[in-house]
Amino acid sequence: MGVLAGRTALVTGANRGIGRGIAERLGRDGARVAVHYGRNEAAAKETVAAIEAAGGSAFAIGVELGLPGDAEALWEEFDRHADGLDILVNNAAIGSSRPIEELDEEEYDTVFAVNVKAPFFLVKHGIPRLRDGGRVINISSGLARTAAMPNNMAYAMTKSALDVLSRDLSKVLGPRNITVNSVAPGIIATDNTYELLHKSEDAWADAAALSALGRVGETADVADVVAFLASDGGRWVTGSWVDVTGGSLT
């Protein structure tokens, strides 16, 4: 039996990248995993299939975040498959890499709607479904606390807001023995970053050099930390910002 046997988890943006890695790890640990996706149903089904192939249980939920009523729609889909939740991982996010001179209001609003508003209302509407002793884990970013990177300003601002949500929500849910934490990855090898870093010959090496450990992170590096926080071993960690940058901030 896995350490999360009998528990139900929801991972947003679990059809690819870090979210998929987290969903697969929680599935291996015994949780039944709700694999959320926005548009790419085929990729979400691949995540579900991978979890099931490893002996786990999973189902897909398709709701595009960043639109009015998105949180309610997601929970309605969830309720068709499960009657309660133990672990909520707010992972879904979109990036923004424009300098302030080029960032328009539409992109700004979209980034905040997906990265901040959606997690906030997912938590709000998820609280009645979240069982005592549960876990809320928000995927932040090392950019929220690293040296200034002006082209990532809007994205970093959203992740800082998510960190405030984790800190304050830990006080709200603490009486129910529910922990709330932020996990902050650095550069992680996903489809998006792989494509970006291989645009130039030195970009990958430069990214690896940012880490004290001399390499680019893997999705498993983040998923393992999330799995710990989701387990009984993480019961005394709450309201925390967990650096998973491989020492990039040192």
Contact partners, residue 94, CB within 8 Å, separation at least 6: 66, 110, 111, 114, 115
Would residue 155 show up in a list of annotated catalytic residues for this protein?
yes
CA angle, 232 as apex, 231 and 237 as ends, to 5°?
90
Would residue 199 show up in a list of annotated catalytic residues for this protein?
no
Structure-token pair, residue 208: 């690896």
The Cα–Cα gap between 131 and 142 comes to: 30
**C-alpha dist (Å) from residue 18 to 80, 129, 137, 200:** 26, 25, 13, 23
CA atoms within 13 A on the CB side of 44: 22
- The residue annotated as part of the active site, out of 37, 96, 140, 211, is 140
Instruction: Enumerate the H helices of the chain as residue ranges.
Output: 17-28, 41-53, 70-79, 105-112, 118-126, 153-173, 191-197, 203-210, 219-230
- The residue annotated as part of the active site, out of 37, 96, 159, 182, is 159
| Element (DSSP H or E) covering residue 103 | none
Would residue 140 show up in a list of annotated catalytic residues for this protein?
yes
- The residue annotated as part of the active site, out of 37, 117, 141, 170, is 141
- The residue annotated as part of the active site, out of 37, 96, 117, 155, is 155
Sole residue written with tokens 């970093």: 156
Structure-token pair, residue 31: 């949780």
Would residue 248 show up in a list of annotated catalytic residues for this protein?
no
The Cα–Cα gap between 209 and 213 comes to: 8
Catalytic residues: 140-141, 155, 159
